[in-house]
Structure 1
Amino acid sequence: MAFPFRTSLLAAACVVSAAASAPAAAADAYPSRPIRLIVAYPTGGISDTVARALGERLSAQMGTSVVVENKAGAGGSIGIDAVAKAAPDGYTLGFAATSPLTLNPHVGRVNYDPQKDVAPVMSVMYSPVLVVATSAFSGKSFADVVGQASAKPGSVRWATSGLGTVGHVVLEQIKQKSKADIVLIPYKGAGQQMNDALGGQFEVMSTNASPVLSQHMQAGRLRALAVGAPKRLESLPAVPTLAELGYPKANLTSTFGIFAPGKTPAAIINRLNAELNKALAEPEVHERLLKGGEVPTGGTPAQFAKAIREESAENARIVREAGIKAD
């Protein structure tokens, strides 16, 4: 006697089982060809250095080559756009700050949906934002910056690497609370900003930590007055955080991480996350970050995604209240 209904249920169960195991099978076979790692910034910087170090470790751990490709421009948005438009198969990844997802969409137009088109894989590091004095500033502390700008409006020029950058947001938060009349000098990138800082073309700048900045501070050409970071840096123990100085909303950092196209299977995202956490824990990679003034992070995809959502909501508020616009 036949049992067609039972047979149909069995067949359906087999289909469901096969479908459920497909992502796992895909993850087991992954990777079977080279992985492309898009760095959203130019060659030679700390982002490029860290991405290449991670790529080398991933290559050794996963048994395939990792090809690094630099796609710089628009504050990281060009590189993230390339990731967003790539096939969601785990063979195209991106290394960038979170700002192309959490800040850029609020200050200008981007060609991707930051919530749907990009999948966070792992937070790699945070880069402290340093408030640095040049030879043009005669004051000794961060309090002197606010004091001079309040006593002599327009006498303190503050440079950032661009409109709508994290450094710009830091300045706007300080201006909002202190009511000091500080003049914004926006550059189009950190290179010229650094050159003019060394030439004393302005009094103060906000910029991310980097080996080059560290060298100039050690040589006495630039002086750190404050830092945006959860706590004081081991390399600069005498420099207070902006939160300590009474500016908790300005106490911002730049977080960098690895991203994948939005519809990449969870099994592949989790595999990459495990491999990246392992790579980040390698002493060589760890030390390379610390030397550049960066702080290693790590963690799960869910933790990274949550942090990005919260950062985006906070940046939306800041941008709206300060009226920040990009070029």
Structure 2
Amino acid sequence: MAKLSLRRRRALALSGGLLAAPMVASGVARAADDWPNRPVRYIVVFPPGGPTDTLSRIVCAQLSELTGQQFIIENRAGSGGNIGADVIAKSTPDGYTIGLYTIAAHAISPTLYAKLPFDAAKDFTGIAMLWSVPNFLMTRLDFPANTIPELIALAKANPGKYSFASSGAGTSPHLTGEMFKQMAGVNILHVPYKGSAPAHQDILAGQVDMMFDNIPGPLGLMKGGKVKGIAVTSKTRHPAVPDKPTIAEFLPGFEISSWGGVCGPANLPPAMVEKLSALTKKALETPTVKTAFEQQGATNMWLSPKDTAAYRANDEKKLAPIIKASGAKVE
């Protein structure tokens, strides 16, 4: 009798589990169908005012328009985007905390930082790529060099005298500067900031000499006559500044662009990921976003969730040798 009772209990437990599984799946599907039914927190991993913040606000405004719910920007800056990325990684996987997927935190930091509070490959759900932007080299107005050859000659004649700002250790502007140092054979001091906006302020004040930054920020400063624009880091000249050369015209093979996407924590329900991805694609295809991206010098780079994760992994692999060769390491 005891054995029979045990069998019955196991059978009942099994049947209960089988009944519960469809119910759980059904609940997840309903949650995805109903999403979003309240405001969504969108973590931007850099401070207000910088290029990634500006582009994120453009996308979030359109997502709010499409869904009827507010996508509320929350800036969590610091440590090259790692502080904000950690907030995303540790959030509840319900679709109501998502945020910025960046080349800095998700492709550069795994090699640059000796220790991270998250695993870039395992602790996030890639949802979609959003944009690609080249970096742009700008200098303070009274900087003695006006071209890449002049800058290289000046830096070689004065090793360690000049400085370049970045939006933080491990960001794409930082890595661009390190790549320039390697390929040009120059010694320029790196000065990291907590985002682009404070770095811009110190260039305007003459505290640092130059900066490789995502093109939207330098474009506005250059058009306002506040900085000198030198060159872009893309393979070909950029339509926003067709009169400015590429660095590759003087250093063959020099090419690097920043990218941004949207991600959530690991274990987001697949149905919700697909819905989020489709919504971001729809947002990027609207005339409002297309025009705003063009004005900011950004290119639509939408990719599916699977391709987004693959792109991140490939970029990490591609950039790792450059980071290691630079000797840069953050403990």
TM-score, normalization by structure 2: 0.84
Gaps of 5+ in 2: 1-15
Report the counterpart of residue 78 of structure 1 in structure 2: 83
**Structure 1 residue 68 corresponds to structure 2 residue 73:** yes
Q: Distance in 2 between matches of 1:193 and 1:34?
A: 32
Secondary structure at 2:247 match in 1: coil
Q: Of residues 273, 282, 289 in structure 1, which corresponds to 2:286?
A: 282
Root-mean-square deviation (CA, aligned residues, Å) is 2.8
Task: Kindly tell me the number of residue pairs found equivalent between the two proteins.
Answer: 316
Deviations 1:197-229 (A, max 9, x none): 223444432222235x32331243322222122
Report the counterpart of residue 269 of structure 1 in structure 2: 273
Q: Distance in 2 between matches of 1:46 and 1:195?
A: 14
Shift in alpha-carbon separation, 1:157–1:84, aligned structure 2, 3 A: closer
> Could you tell me the percent identity over the aligned residues?
31
Q: Of residues 291, 311, 316 in structure 2, which corresponds to 1:312?
A: 316
Q: Quick check: 2:50–2:196 contact (8 Å CA) kept in 1? A: no
Q: Quick check: 1:129–1:207 contact (8 Å CA) kept in 2? A: yes
Report the counterpart of residue 227 of structure 1 in structure 2: 232
Q: Quick check: 2:130–2:284 contact (8 Å CA) kept in 1? A: yes
Q: Quick check: 2:79–2:168 contact (8 Å CA) kept in 1? A: no
Report the counterpart of residue 254 of structure 1 in structure 2: 258
Q: Of residues 243, 248, 252 in structure 2, which corresponds to 1:243?
A: 248
Q: Distance in 1 between matches of 2:60 and 2:166?
A: 30
Report the counterpart of residue 181 of structure 1 in structure 2: 187
Secondary structure at 1:243 match in 2: helix
Deviations 1:284-312 (A, max 9, x none): 12222222232222121122111100111
**Structure 1 residue 303 corresponds to structure 2 residue 304:** no
Q: Distance in 1 between matches of 2:117 and 2:24?
A: 33
Where do residues 24-43 of structure 1 align in structure 2 (5 Å cutoff)? 24-43=29-48
Report the counterpart of residue 52 of structure 1 in structure 2: 57
Q: Distance in 2 between matches of 1:107 and 1:14?
A: 48
Report the counterpart of residue 176 of structure 2 in structure 1: 170
Where do residues 55-134 of structure 1 align in structure 2 (5 Å cutoff)? 55-108=60-113, 109-134=115-140
Q: Quick check: 1:122–1:258 contact (8 Å CA) kept in 2? A: yes
Q: Distance in 2 between matches of 1:186 and 1:64?
A: 36
Deviations 1:180-213 (A, max 9, x none): 33343444443343233223444432222235x3
Q: Quick check: 2:51–2:214 contact (8 Å CA) kept in 1? A: no
The amino acid of 2:163's aligned partner reads R
